[in-house]
Amino acid sequence: MLSYLSKNNTNNNDNNDNNENSDKDILLSLRTLIIDNYDSYTFNLLQLWNSKESLNNVVVIRNDQFSWIEFKENILPYFDNIIISPGPGSPENNTDFGICKNILELDNIPILGICLGHQGIGLTFGGKVTNAKRIMHGRLSSINHDGSFNPNSLFYKIPSPFLAVRYHSLVIDNKELSSELIISAWCSEDENEKNNDLQECSLNAINNSFNIIDTCNDTSNSIKLSIKEANSTIMGLQHVVKPIYGVQFHPESICTEHGFQILRNFQSISREFLIKTRGISIPHQKLPEHIKSLSVVPKNCFKSISDNSENPTTASSSSSSSSYKIIMKILNKELWIDDSSLIFQKIVSVGKSKCGVWWLDSAKLPDPQSRFSYMGSTPTISNSFSTSYDTLSKKLIITYSNNKNNKIFSEEKLSNQTYWDWMSETMQQFNQRIIGLRVLNGINDTNDMNHMNNMNDNQRIPFDFRLGMVGYFGYEMKRESLRSYQQHHDQSSSVYKVPDAAFIFATQAIIFDHVEKRIWLAGLVRNDLKDSNRSKNNCILDIPLGYSFKDFISWINLTEKKLKKLKQSNQSNQLNQPNQLNQFKQLKQLCSIQNIIKTSSTSTNKNNKINNVNINKLNFIPDLIKDLYLGSIEKAQSYIYEGQSYEICLTTQFRASMPKQVVVGIREGIGERGGGRRVEEEVKERGEVLDIFELYQYIRTNNPAPFSALIHFPTEDLSIFSSSPEKFLQIDNKGVIEMKPIKGTIARAKGCFCLRGDGDDGDVPECDKGVQCEMNRKKDDMRRINQLIGDVKEQAENLMIVDLIRNDLSQICLPHTVKVPSLMKIESYETVHQLVTTVQGNLRNDLDCVNVIRGCFPPGSMTGAPKLRSVQLLDELEDYIPRGVYSGCLGYISLHDGTTTGEGGARRGRGTAKFNVIIRTVVIKDGKEISIGAGGAIVYLSNRESEWKEVLLKSQSVLPSVLEFMKDKRIFQ
């Protein structure tokens, strides 16, 4: 399936072998304008240019960014050719197509239309746009053409047929084609044709990836399908006179073969046209800066830290503005405790933490992505703070852990900026003041920082985390991340209210290296040897933050003493663990599809949109009952059929309320909640406090995942228990970003399969409850893996999100560096197998971590594609009920350690970041309101009943743990 990587890169090498480098440079020096029709694949086109330098003359603008008059007079004269991008909707709709209709009426400029642009070409010259016989999204077809030996063809030097990815619901009717247009490519829609050789050829080329082949034709060049056949679809058009070309497929997709050659051919055709008609000498002058600045991806496309000599982050470490050190200490191996949960319970959560406690937990061991875990709290001496933000009111609340200055919290309205802007500026202020990273040299109680060593290559710290912001961006932060997003008025009336974003500023952390079995302690320490808490130089947010050196040493000593005590008492063996073998299986049965949701359309609310679910007397109420969810699937598929979207990630949430006599919080440790109310007083009013740590223990034990997390915000009375298997993104200290989308899920084989007759040998007479039983289970588990691998729908879902993520990264990375090193790899977790892809790129130097996250948010695996249009449709399909925390991302944005890292100038002061996608997650608000989100990607091939079952399957990853916890605590007795 990685045919883009194998075949397109081969094309590049062939060009080098043929000594065509200079010719290629000339072709790529043409001044190209790309018109973006608000698609989520447009910017993948930039990856078809082979270097940063070759993109200097490429500009991308939106289809409604300028009026036609302004565009024609002030922009068009600077360009040599135009590419009209894919996009949602129809070229018949002016809102969807913008100025592209006017562009296609021009006579004197080469134009390439892709998908929507291709359909616009057909419509402009007398053709008819109609619904396709087969809706094709994220699926491969064999493309036939006759241009292999024609230098004036888009398909020059490309074999026929070749594989290309299709994303479309509409086509040009091949029966009503204008005489002005020539069909240059086509494909068959005969689903009955088979060719295993074609599949094997592709599989051998991609190495452990999977194929998505819907039309399997003979690969021999001698076989070509006639477009006159009723089952053929137009895949390419060419105007008989004008230099106008169109392709229905997507040459920029990761799995389309020969995409680079198609672009090269278009540039070559453009060059010849310009020389003949305008007498233009190639190469010519570069685009002027005022034209390049019009691009929607200029250098400063987001408000960010500039990478220049005047930037305070590049100032000398002796600058008076620098006022912090990040100090770490690696503890003796003798202090290692395998059970990190014991340390959280006995050390982290017992101190009074006004701003909250947090644990970024690599719970799935052994796992290559689970090497490090981080946890911390916010005691008074840490001088930390937490934030919560609401996008509708734009209200930001900051709570401080130290109220020595009589400043418990502050509240402000971000009238002229977004929360993303505020976060970026705040992190910038801290990064400007970081002197560097220091490592304790075995000292104990001293006030002399000179006994510390600088970090060096021989003392390389194995993790990128350097303290900073720990928390989440909820899904509703899309309102401030998606440009052109239009908010519906119904969104303001939701009763399900949690902060749209909330973070704790971590000034201390306990860090676990699960591979080396070492514990690190880290702290943000003020550079004030005299411990002057009121030094103006150390005030950010108008209050001193971070530890004094003396207090930090005290914290280290105290933590080491507590670890020694835990080790000596061997309490890790005495920790109360849930019975994960028996009770969890019983609760899984209680949460079976037959019991979790009533299929009746009865409802308990006025809008007839929810119904009760009673499991062990705990009512889980879905936002959308089954009938309504299936109705939303049907409506989503109608939008896909109309061309409004390729894939829509529909979700719902199951909600329940704790019994009146129970509240979930921290039984010991947190001394105050919002408004300064004591827990003890609250217990009198609301009943017993169930410790959030104990509930999380059930979740992490029963469903371990590499990106698990527990975070508690006491002032918001909000607790998040995440068992997420999906990494949203990671930014390392070399400026490399990695994203790992998950699309494609199937349940693991659990229990006994001996008597089910699922195998080739039919039923067996009895189960030995031993080796043979386990062999049968493993056999069925492998059958399910193979079923997932061969599922065209699941693979199409994954491919669509992969191309979407590549598009996101092309706007924040150097486009030619965006790669897909692993495509659709099977990863297995406690309850499910999943298809996981890895996408990487090198970030541009002008963006900090906050704005990188902003540029990719919300996660594409939770929206669909195109992202903007799909998100707008989802608002309606989900009845304008906010998703809240669910579907957002949770993790950290780290401080920079004051050193310059990365090859090629990875920007100093960016820091690092790592976030999961918030799925498989329990959210508890006000100690009582429980919500669990689940959903799935809807494509045109989706089966409604199967999609509903997948929702239930995903909810069962964490719901049984909640019920098991309640059962063990005798909540319902």
Active-site annotation, residues: 115, 250, 252
Nearest-angstrom CA–CA distance, 838 and 815: 16
As to burial, measured by CB atoms within 10 angstroms (0-12 exposed, 13-18 middle, 19+ buried), residue 826 is middle
- Of 31, 36, 53, 853, nearest in space to 45 by CA: 36
H or E, element range at 69: helix 68-74
Sequential DSSP letters for 356-419 = -EEEEE--SSS-TT-SEEEEE---GGG--EEEEEETTTTEEEEEES--TTS--EEEEE-SSS-H
Closest listed residue to residue 563, CA positions, set 554, 551, 553, 572: 572
For residue 310, what is the DSSP state?
Answer: T
Dihedral pair phi/psi, residue 714, rounded to 5°: -65, -35
User: Which SS3 state, helix, strand or coil, does residue 932 take?
Assistant: strand
What DSSP string describes 266-278? HHHHHHHHHHHHH
Q: Which pair of structure tokens corresponds to residue 185?
A: 């490519």
State the amino acid at position 861 in one-letter form: S
- For residue 141, the SS3 value is strand
**Using CA atoms, how far apart are residues 485 and 846, in angstroms rounded to an integer?**
24
Our measurement of the distance from residue 645's CA atom to the centroid of its chain's CA atoms, rounded to an integer in Å, reads: 19
CA 907 – CA 733 distance, rounded (Å): 9
Which 8-state DSSP code applies to residue 7? I
Is 184 in contact with 155 (CB distance < 8 Å)? yes
How far is 416 from 425, CA to CA, in rounded Å?
A: 13
Handedness of CA 812, 818, 823, 825 (dihedral sign): negative
- Tell me if 701 sits within 8 A of 577, measured CB to CB: yes
173 near 130, Cβ under 8 Å? Answer: yes
The residue ranges of DSSP E strands in 403-513, in sequence order, are: 409-413, 434-440, 452-454, 468-473, 501-506, 508-513
H/E element, 341: helix 340-343
Single-letter amino acid, residue 255: C
- Contact residues for 20 (Cβ-Cβ < 8 A; gap 6+): none
Crossing angle for the helix pair 9-17 and 259-278, to the nearest 10 degrees: 50
> In sequence order, what are the beta bridge partners of 245?
112, 238
- Integer Cα distance of 746 and 600 in angstroms: 26
Helix (H, G, I), strand (E, B), or coil: what is residue 470?
Answer: strand
Q: Write the CB contacts of 158 (distance below 8 Å, at least 6 apart in sequence).
A: 145, 147, 148, 258, 261, 262, 265
* 670 half-sphere exposure, CB direction, 13 A CA radius: 34
Rounded Cα distance between 745 and 953, Å, is 9
DSSP 313: G
| Residue carrying the six token digits 């046209």 | 273
β-strands 621-622, 111-114: how paired?
Answer: unpaired
Asked if residues 282 and 110 have their Cβ atoms less than 8 Å apart, the reply is no
* C-beta separation of 145 from 236 below 8 A: yes
| Two structure tokens written together for 36 | 């973006």
Residue 238's DSSP bridge partners are: 182, 245
> Do the bridges between strand 742-747 and strand 819-828 make them parallel or antiparallel, or are there none, so unpaired?
unpaired
Structure tokens at 467: 């303290």
